[in-house]
Amino acid sequence: MSHRADPEFLSQLRKYGAVNIESCFNCGNCTAVCPLSSGEDNFPRRMIRYGQLGMKEKLLGSKELWLCYSCGECAATCPRQADPGEFMAAARRYAIARYDRLKLSGLMYTSPLFNVLLLILLAAGLGVFIYAFHGPMHTESLGLFEFIPSDVIHDAGVFAGLVVILLGFWGSYNMISNIRKSVAIPEGGRVDHKSAVIETIGEVVTQRRYRRDCETYSEVQQWCLQKWFLHASMLWGFMGLFLATTLDYLLALTGVKPTGTWVPIWYPVRLLGTLAGLMLVYGVTGVILKRLLKADDSYRHSTSTDWSFLVVLLLSAVSGFALEIAVYLPEPHAWSYWMLLAHLVVVGELFLLLPFTKFAHVIYRTVALYAHALKPLSKAQSAVAEVKE
């Protein structure tokens, strides 16, 4: 099968990161040292060749693009300083922009000014919208959800969630359309979807391949300072907060605990949110420090979208903790109400931009891991499947 080459492809990729693959002479060292590369998943060398030859469709159809965890070993050992790791990161940004038919991701990734202005305007718009529903600021007792009614928060959250889900499915569909030709489908089209789902969920939750295989030779820190744990802390923290918020909403819907009802810190949902928030703050703070210090090759290059994502994520967690402190103070304070408004703004911004920012890695890496985990059914399994049909 022939593939069309785009001579402008490399110049397009440069807009998404520090791409220097002209220096690469395809020695294969990057693939040799990559702990996740295999005979079937030959990266980053194969991705670099796609970039050099202008094979845009092949790059966008490569699930291997998302199997990389940016450990930095390839960049550290490249004899030509071509920085394969940064190329992979830039290629992922490019892929997100291409999967996004609204074209918002491309503008955010290629224009720092647009990225900053969008964040400011979106925050202002969300602030004005939420404040339009405000009620009184009680001084006798703290009434956060009388200031901003919980119904408004819940309805806006459900609407924002639906928008994000639709955009996520849209982007995933575009991604799958690109990668499905690279997934080996056995004769008859029978694959073991159940095992692939289990393996994918296990990897997403436990970071097994990242933890087990992506330990670089220079990484001698305690486990709690290693990249896989910081990455996992952000993921677990965010998912824990999302779960706590969902449970709190369900408790309100069922009349068990109306939103805003005072509960002790050890109340299960509150405790879950507190622990998840601590994990999120720890993970984000660790990554920010590593990026500031340029701790290793994987943190050497940081784009404006990297920083804005981390800052918004940190602000959402810190403002949430400030609200928790306000709830347990003996006297109400006016700043608590404004902190609630700020928290809702940054959380809303984080969610609405999820399909367009680095957060989209959660979506696309999950799809890629699933495609990677798909294996043909054995003859015995196929026979059982046929009998069931």
Instruction: Enumerate residue ranges in the chain where pLDDT < 50.
Output: 1, 186-187, 217-218, 379-387
Pair 42, 155 in one domain: no
pLDDT for 7: 79
Asked if the structure places residue 385 within a domain, the reply is: no
pLDDT for 2: 54
Asked if the structure places residue 389 within a domain, the reply is: no
Pair 94, 158 in one domain: no
Asked if the structure places residue 3 within a domain, the reply is: no
User: Which DSSP letter does residue 221 get?
Assistant: S
- The CA–CA distances, whole Å, from 211 to 13, 29, 77, 289, 372 equal 29, 22, 20, 20, 18
Pair 177, 247 in one domain: yes
Report which of 353, 266, 280 is spatially closest to residue 313, judged by C-alpha positions: 280
Q: What DSSP string describes 249-312?
A: HHHHHTTSS-TT----TTSHHHHHHHHHHHHHHHHHHHHHHHHHHT-SGGGS---HHHHHHHHH
Asked if the structure places residue 1 within a domain, the reply is: no
Pair 89, 119 in one domain: no
- Return the structure tokens found at 254: 């069922």
User: Whole-angstrom Cα distance, residue 345 to residue 121?
Assistant: 11
pLDDT for 220: 56
Which pTM does this prediction carry? 0.89
Pair 305, 247 in one domain: yes
User: Whole-angstrom Cα distance, residue 40 to residue 251?
Assistant: 48
Pair 66, 173 in one domain: no
User: Whole-angstrom Cα distance, residue 215 to residue 236?
Assistant: 20
Domain boundary among 82, 99, 116: 99
With DSSP H G I counted as helix, E B as strand and the rest as coil, what are the percentages for the chain, rounded to 5?
A: 70, 0, 30
- Return the structure tokens found at 137: 């600021």
User: Whole-angstrom Cα distance, residue 62 to residue 368?
Assistant: 9
Pair 229, 298 in one domain: yes
Asked if the structure places residue 380 within a domain, the reply is: no
pLDDT for 387: 43
Instruction: Give per-residue pLDDT as tens, 127-142.
Output: 999 999 999 998 888 9
Asked if the structure places residue 379 within a domain, the reply is: no
Pair 93, 175 in one domain: no
Asked if the structure places residue 252 within a domain, the reply is: yes
Count structural domains, the chain.
Answer: 2
Pair 82, 108 in one domain: no
User: Whole-angstrom Cα distance, residue 321 to residue 195?
Assistant: 39
Which range marks the domain in which residue 274 is found? 104-373
Work out whether the CA dihedral 38, 42, 44, 45 comes out positive or negative. Answer: positive
The residue count of the chain comes to 389
Pair 92, 113 in one domain: no
pLDDT for 377: 58
User: Whole-angstrom Cα distance, residue 135 to residue 219?
Assistant: 52
Domain boundary among 73, 99, 125: 99
Pair 36, 59 in one domain: yes
Beta-carbon contacts of 59 under 8 Å, excluding residues fewer than 6 positions away, are 47, 50, 51, 65, 91, 94, 95
Beta-carbon contacts of 365 under 8 Å, excluding residues fewer than 6 positions away, are 66, 67, 204
Pair 40, 182 in one domain: no
Asked if the structure places residue 224 within a domain, the reply is: yes
User: Whole-angstrom Cα distance, residue 294 to residue 152?
Assistant: 42
Please, are residues 46 and 120 in contact by the beta-carbon 8 Å criterion?
no
Domain boundary among 57, 80, 99: 99
Residue 216 CB neighbours (<10 A): 18
pLDDT for 183: 55
pLDDT for 372: 79
